[in-house]
Amino acid sequence: MEHKIAEVIKDNDTFAITAHLGPEADAIGAQLGMKLILDSYGKTTYAVLNDFVPNNLKFLPAADSIITPDQLKADEIDAWFVVDCGQLNRVGDSLMRMI
C-alpha cells in the first residue's frame, strides 16, 4: 500500500486534503500534517473542509490555509487525500461531488 501512495505523490502535482464533517483536533492535525509533508515535496496543496477551524485549533501550523469547497477548483486537483475518515460520505455532500 505505501508504494502505491508514494507513486500517487510522485506522479501528481496538485493535491487536495480533507477530513470528516465536524473535524476535531486529530482530523485537522492529520490534514495539516499531510499538507505540510506534500508542501515539503514541492507539491501544490489545498486543505479543504466544509467546516471552519475551531478557534481553539487556529494555532496549528497552516490552519489559516484551510479553505472551503467553494474556494477550490476541483478540476485542477490531480489527487485527493481523505484523512481521519472511516467512510467517504462523512466528508459531506459538497466534497463528495468533487472527489
pLDDT of residue 91: 87
- Paired sense of beta strands 14-18 and 44-47, if any: parallel
Low-confidence ranges of the chain (pLDDT < 50): none
The predicted pLDDT at position 1 comes to 61
Residue entry with cell 501544490: 44
| Confidence at residue 80, expressed as pLDDT on a 0 to 100 scale | 96
**Residue 74, pLDDT score:** 86
Return the pLDDT at 2.
Answer: 65
> What pLDDT, on the 0 to 100 scale, is given for residue 70?
93
Tell me what pLDDT residue 86 has.
Answer: 87
Structure confidence at residue 41 (pLDDT) = 96
pLDDT at 10: 95
Q: Is 81 left (phi over 0), alpha (psi -120 to 50) or beta?
A: beta
